[in-house]
Structure 1
């Protein structure tokens, strides 16, 4: 989609920018002429990635479970932009383990990154937008796991279900200020250093995706740009799945059955 300079000079904050979805979104946003503040806990990965982008963006290393780091990120955004036009709450953790084996510290870490940090950053950014007298767009990266419980990742599923409700709550309360809040569910894209997957898992998951392929670098970023654009100016509180149909069902392949006519 051609936005014809709509995003030139716009300011965006992206968390989890060293991860696969974060990199793709940052590349797409930078290509549209946006000024970026990229955040991640991985200092080396963040620095290496930022160096690949045109007009090297601002970066800040952030542990989203630490209140001081959350405040530092908000303060940096305010110092750079006054108020960003777009916030992408992309960072997330996806550890696995049976509920009986997960300790409270791990539970708190998952909820801290996937939910509490989103609340704090959305609240703080919205306050900046309101003080600046302008609207804006907040995009929360959710998951089809918010609607489909899975063994060994129950805390993750729980955090994403809560994130969807938080998205709608913020959308309701911020609408009067012209701030839109939506959720985006990206598709399956193996390659996360934080959550490595076996070849067998990747093959099996890809085979079950209704549209028959993994997510590519244009899929989720294209949806995020649309949600942030004027084309979506009447969209708030929505959840947009860009996952090849993976969240609605799984394609089963039966070797002994003929394809339907």
Structure 2
């Protein structure tokens, strides 16, 4: 799919930008000439993105944000307003996943998970949408969901609960913001090694591969292309939807004897 000229000069805010999906999303928008505000709690990794050759020739601004803290989210919104007045596009990409069985999980860890995965997208969408409305311009907001919103596993109940809530939050904001021509959708990417802050074992990666019908992990063009589409005029009649880009993993039960890592069609 080609988006030539669609995003030149568009102002895009991306949270969780220093992670693997955040980086891929930033590169995708940069390739289309967008201006970027990149946000992450990991300041060193965030600033290092300036050296990314795929981000060299675009306007880059950075904000170190702790999405578990309301004050930090408000600071990010104020930074956007100060620099741009309002954004054109918001990508709520940041998320946190740490394995905890619900029977053993403490309230602090629960609140942190729900805070980053649900409350932060709620508050940032609210604040940036208010700026868009004030400036009287349309916009597009994308929440990064997960197949975990549809299926669960032991140790991930808090994460699945958060992603399921994010799906309903997407629909709710889509309804409220439609009169202002601000579209709100979600993209659920497939599994990509390195997409989580915690290190993944080789056995875990190989087991995940056997569950993906198309036989490979998510690559740098998969979810970002879906995001570009949903933010483009080609998707101007789409709001409140979730586009799943996971190689068929959530389509049903599947077990492959020959996983292939890293290959793309």
Alignment TM-score, normalising by the size of structure 1: 0.95
CA contact (8 A) 2:97 2:196 kept: no
1:47 alignment counterpart: 47
Secondary structure of 1:197's counterpart equals: coil
Offset, 1:195: 2.2
Unaligned ranges ≥5, structure 2: 259-265
Count of paired positions: 255
Q: What's the CA shift string for 1:77-106, capped at 9, x where partnerless? A: 111111100000000001101111110000
Q: How does 1:71-220 map to 2 (within 5 A)?
A: 71-192=74-195, 194-220=197-223
Instruction: Report the more deviating stretch, 187-196 or 104-113.
Output: 187-196
- 1:251 maps to 254
Maintained 8 Å contact 2:210/2:257: no
Shift in alpha-carbon separation, 1:193–1:204, aligned structure 2, 3 A: closer
* TM-aligned CA deviation for residue 252 of structure 1: 1.9
TM-score of the aligned structures, taking structure 2 as reference length? 0.94
CA contact (8 A) 1:167 1:181 kept: yes
- Distance (whole Å) between structure 2 residues aligned to residue 14 and residue 142 of structure 1: 14
Aligned to 2:25: 25
Structure 1 residue 247, shift from structure 2 partner: 1.3
Q: Give the RMSD, CA atoms, in angstroms.
A: 1.2
Gaps of 5+ in 1: 256-261
**Aligned residue number for residue 263 of structure 2:** none
CA contact (8 A) 1:50 1:56 kept: no
Any idea what SS the aligned residue of 2:250 has? Answer: coil
